[in-house]
Structure 1
Amino acid sequence: MKIREVDENKKQFISLLLLADEQENMVDRYLEKGTMYVLEDGDVKAECVVTDEYSVLQVGTGDSPLTIPFYEKCGFVRSNKIPNFFTDNYDHPIYEGGVQLIDMVYLQRCL
């Protein structure tokens, strides 16, 4: 396994990025803000975009019974939410675990 930084052509990983955020123009909003890393083991297994700006790690996700418990088990706590984020910003309904995502929930954890 190898982790490497991606400096150019970050959009080559768009298919993987779209698994986390299925609308490309939303991915474009944050793609260039940070440093991209990919985990490779024969092929790309994971990727992330990291910024070195804060002392708190914050994630935003849909209010889903699949993702919220995962983040809480990792030590994150709910901090705020953006009502109607998914219905206002996506051109189609987004479902996860059989639940339509409406609000964006932010969770945070001190670094």
Structure 2
Amino acid sequence: MPTFSRVAPQELPMPLLLLADPSEHHIATYLEGALCYLASEQGQPVGACVLNVNRDGVLELFNIAVAIEAQAQGIGSALLEHVIADARAQGYARIELGTGTFGHQLAFYQRAGFRVESVIRDHFLDHYDEPIHERGIQHKDMLRLALTL
């Protein structure tokens, strides 16, 4: 199992972050000042997570990614579990996030206890230069999910 550590934003490998968010420009908008976590195995980065303080007591999860060769081994779930426990220990009351309306990411967050709160129509159409497809379906709308800690 990997080890987890809080790191400075510049310590997160951009290729890893791009697995979860295909826009380097978009990543740059939420990376500065973020709470960043790195999952490592044998000294190599295998996962990353980026959150920002949204408002008092509320964090927003912007990015969580696992290296392709390390996927489907429980690393992402363990990393998210670590992040949730750390947020709770720091006194945060809630974690919010946005994700697509279908696909493995939605199930991943729901397994961790996140609940759907709202839909933002056309988010992926309005905020990304290139269409984002998953399993032959284009992502258009964003679901907003939250977990009370």
With the length of structure 2 as denominator, give the TM-score of the two structures.
0.66
Match of 2:37 in 1: 37
Q: Alpha carbons of 1:57 and 1:8: their partners in 2 closer, same or farther (altered >3 Å)?
A: closer
After superposition, give the CA deviation of every residue in 1:6-41 in whole Å (9 maximum; x if it has no partner).
22624x511000000001111111111322121111
1:1-111 counterparts in 2 under 5 A?
Answer: 1-7=2-8, 9-10=10-11, 13-42=13-42, 43-51=44-52, 53-54=57-58, 55-111=93-149
RMSD: 1.8
Q: Does the 8 A contact of 2:9 with 2:32 survive in 1?
A: no
- The one-letter amino acid paired with 2:23 is Q
Aligned length: 110
Structure 1 residue runs of 4+, over 4 Å off? none
Q: Displacement, 1:99? A: 1.5
| Mapped partners of 1:50, 1:72: distance in 2 | 18
Q: Does the 8 A contact of 2:9 with 2:31 survive in 1?
A: no
Q: Alpha carbons of 1:37 and 1:97: their partners in 2 closer, same or farther (altered >3 Å)?
A: same
Q: Pick 1 or 2: higher relative contact order, CA cutoff 8 A, min separation 6.
A: 1
Q: Does the 8 A contact of 1:4 with 1:38 survive in 2?
A: yes
| Mapped partners of 1:70, 1:38: distance in 2 | 18
| Mapped partners of 1:5, 1:70: distance in 2 | 22
Q: Alpha carbons of 1:74 and 1:3: their partners in 2 closer, same or farther (altered >3 Å)?
A: closer
* Percentage of matched positions with identical amino acids: 32
| Mapped partners of 1:78, 1:13: distance in 2 | 30
Q: Displacement, 1:70? A: 2.5
Q: Alpha carbons of 1:51 and 1:92: their partners in 2 closer, same or farther (altered >3 Å)?
A: closer
With the length of structure 1 as denominator, give the TM-score of the two structures.
0.86
Q: Alpha carbons of 1:8 and 1:56: their partners in 2 closer, same or farther (altered >3 Å)?
A: closer
